[in-house]
Amino acid sequence: MKVLVTGGCGYIGAHTIVDLINHGFDVVSVDSNIRSTTQLLDGIEKITGKKIHNYKVDLCNLEDTHAVFHENRDIVGVIHFAALKTVPESVAEPLLYFHNNLTSLVNILKCIQEFKIPNFVFSSSCSVYGNATALPVVEETPLGEAQSPYARTKQIGEQIIQDYNKVNDTQSIILRYFNPVGAHPSALIGELPLGKPDNLVPMITQTAIGKRPKMIVFGHDYDTRDGSCIRDYIHVMDIANAHTRALQYLLDKKNKANLETFNLGTGNGVTVLEAINAFEKISGVKLNYELGPRRPGDVIAIYANNSLAKSRLGWEPKIGIEDMMRTAWQWEVSLRDKVLSN
Ligand code: NAD
Ligand code: WQD
């Protein structure tokens, strides 16, 4: 069975392709490489022995997107990862984010409608909850004020899918990821942030390897157990496996609602300082960090109630914070070794 993955050259898309192949699916990818190269496709081939075809197509171009669907009429579903995802960039360039993330989604849905593709999975984000006050968040938690244009594209994207699904037969699943981190245990694929990372884990590994002189812990006087913010870090292979299960769930069509939404987190809140301690423990590296001021726009604490994904999809996140850090570190080390051997 063939699946079309958009954003297959990116971080989560690439890890999901590996899991899909391991579960017997064939995959084609569409990625314009606006935020990636084809490097991760080489890693996927080394891990799985399968060469993935990527259509280098901008999904904002309907004609080109249509041509991909025309050539792949036999796909059983689409997993739509492709999007821009950098929060500060979205604040600086909101129209870029609205254009890219929403036009691409509308174009994909137009093609799904025309080619009668039965199944659709969409990448959403815990950022749709805004500043949630009741923790852990459940899927019914009312969506708060979006804290960035990026988060707003996810809120609007979810609404577009809801309205589309009211009048179409497509079965859809929206997956709200919390904080995906880590890398495939082979260290052949992982996260490739462009420029200075905003996210915590690449900042930790890049500081530890010496790419950055030091890092700042944003805020140490929050009302949490150690004063730093709390997040629900989840291993990217656990996220990947949830997509395979979501697709299998949709393919096994008994009594399904036509649109369901699931939180993908571990359910465990981890502070920034706890994440750093876990990193130092598994790597043996003393991290050069300073306690600094709060980062504007940060929520103090957020973590998931993941019961729905567990019970409906039969999914269970398996990887703990130390192995999240271990695989992220092995990936960073492998990137350095590759540079040194060239
Ligand atoms: P990524 O940047 O590594 O991958 C996204 C890929 O989409 C890139 O390869 C990029 O080139 C491609 N792309 C973007 N716009 C495109 C377009 N118009 N046409 C074709 N290709 C396009 O990001 P990721 O971390 O793998 O994220 C995947 C999805 O998960 C995104 O929708 C993101 O918003 C969502 N998400 C990510 C996180 C996270 O922390 N990584 C958290 C929650 C949700
Ligand atoms: C985590 C914690 C920082 C860097 C973002 C997006 C969200 C989602 C996931 C896509 C926070 C702290 C960070 C640093 C630090 N992405 N930190 N020093 O902000 O939870 O979520 O990524 O959908 O939409 O907003 O993740 O990794 O940036 O931060 O202290 O150098 O680490 O303050 O408490 P965040 P993050």
Q: Is residue 195 part of a domain?
A: no
**Separation of 330 CA from ligand 2 center, angstroms?**
21
Q: What are phi and psi of 56, to 5 degrees?
A: -85, 85
55 is an active site residue: no
Q: Is residue 194 part of a domain?
A: no
Distance from C-alpha of 12 to C-alpha of 17, rounded to nearest angstrom: 9
Q: Indicate whether residue 251 lines ligand 2 (CB < 6 A).
A: no
Best mutation site among 35, 54, 148 for ligand 1, i.e. most ligand atoms within 8 A of its Cβ? Answer: 35
Please say whether the beta carbons of 58 and 32 come within 8 A: yes
Best mutation site among 126, 147, 295, 299 for ligand 2, i.e. most ligand atoms within 8 A of its Cβ? Answer: 295
Summarised one tens digit per residue, pLDDT across range 188-219 is: 999 998 889 999 999 999 999 999 999 999 99
Domain with 291, as residue range(s), is 200-230+268-310+320-341
Distance from C-alpha of 340 to C-alpha of 342, rounded to nearest angstrom: 6
Q: Is residue 59 part of a domain?
A: yes
pLDDT in the model for residue 275: 98
- Is 283 found in the same domain as 173? no
- Is 70 found in the same domain as 218? no
Best mutation site among 68, 123, 236 for ligand 1, i.e. most ligand atoms within 8 A of its Cβ? Answer: 123
DSSP per residue, 209-261: HTSSS-EEEE-S-SSSSSSS-EE-EEEHHHHHHHHHHHHHHHHS-TT--SEEE
Name the domain count of the chain: 2
pLDDT in the model for residue 253: 74
53: which 2 tokens? 């075809």
Q: Indicate whether residue 16 lines ligand 2 (CB < 6 A).
A: no
Distance from C-alpha of 139 to C-alpha of 155, rounded to nearest angstrom: 13
pLDDT in the model for residue 255: 55
- Is 98 found in the same domain as 49? yes
**Separation of 272 CA from ligand 2 center, angstroms?**
9
- Is 174 found in the same domain as 240? yes
- Is 211 found in the same domain as 89? no
pLDDT in the model for residue 256: 64
Q: Indicate whether residue 125 lines ligand 1 (CB < 6 A).
A: yes
**Separation of 24 CA from ligand 2 center, angstroms?**
34
Q: Determine which residue's CA is closest to atom 32 belonging to ligand 2.
A: 200
- Is 152 found in the same domain as 280? no
- Is 218 found in the same domain as 140? no
Could you identify the atom of ligand 1 that is nearest to the CA of residue 33? 11
- Say which ligand is closest to the CA of 101: 1
Could you identify the atom of ligand 2 that is nearest to the CA of residue 150? 24
Please say whether the beta carbons of 272 and 216 come within 8 A: no
- Say which ligand is closest to the CA of 146: 2
Q: Is residue 191 part of a domain?
A: no
pLDDT in the model for residue 297: 86
**Separation of 153 CA from ligand 1 center, angstroms?**
12
- Is 274 found in the same domain as 261? no
pTM reported for the whole predicted model: 0.98
Could you identify the atom of ligand 1 that is nearest to the CA of residue 82? 7
pLDDT in the model for residue 338: 83
- Is 240 found in the same domain as 151? yes
Q: Is residue 261 part of a domain?
A: yes
At 135, which CATH number?
3.40.50.720
Q: Residue 318, SS3? A: coil
- Is 291 found in the same domain as 166? no
172: which 2 tokens? 């859809």
- Residues in the chain with pLDDT < 70? 254-257
Q: What are phi and psi of 322, to 5 degrees?
A: -70, -40
pLDDT in the model for residue 301: 95
At 325, which CATH number?
3.90.25.10
**Separation of 4 CA from ligand 2 center, angstroms?**
29
Determine which one of 55, 129, 150, 289 is catalytic: 150
Q: Indicate whether residue 199 lines ligand 2 (CB < 6 A).
A: yes
**Separation of 126 CA from ligand 1 center, angstroms?**
15
pLDDT in the model for residue 339: 80
